[in-house]
Amino acid sequence: MTDVAEEFNAYVAARKHVLVRTAYLLTGDRHDAEDLVQATLTRTFLAWHRIRERNAVDAYVRRTMVNEHTSWWRRAWRRTERSTADLPERPADSPIDLADRDEVWDLVRTLPPRQRAIVVLRFYEDLSPAEIAATLGCSVGTVASQTSRAIAALRARYAELGEPSSRVTAEEGAA
Q: What is the mean pLDDT of residues 45-49?
A: 87
Query: What pLDDT score does 161 carry?
Result: 75
84 in a structural domain: no
Digit-coded pLDDT (tens) for 89-148: 655 555 555 555 677 778 888 899 899 999 988 888 888 899 899 888 899 999 999 999
Which CATH number does the domain housing residue 15 bear? 1.10.1740.10
| C-alpha closest to that of 23 among 11, 15, 35, 14 | 35
Q: How far is CA 23 from CA 70, 99, 158, 164, 165, in A?
A: 12, 20, 24, 30, 27
Q: Are residues 109 and 159 in the same domain?
A: yes
Domain containing residue 53:
1-79
With a CB cutoff of 8 Å and minimum separation 6, the contacts of 80 are none
CA–CA gap between residue 121 and residue 132 (Å, rounded): 7
Domain tally, the chain? 2
Q: What percent of the chain has pLDDT over 70?
A: 75
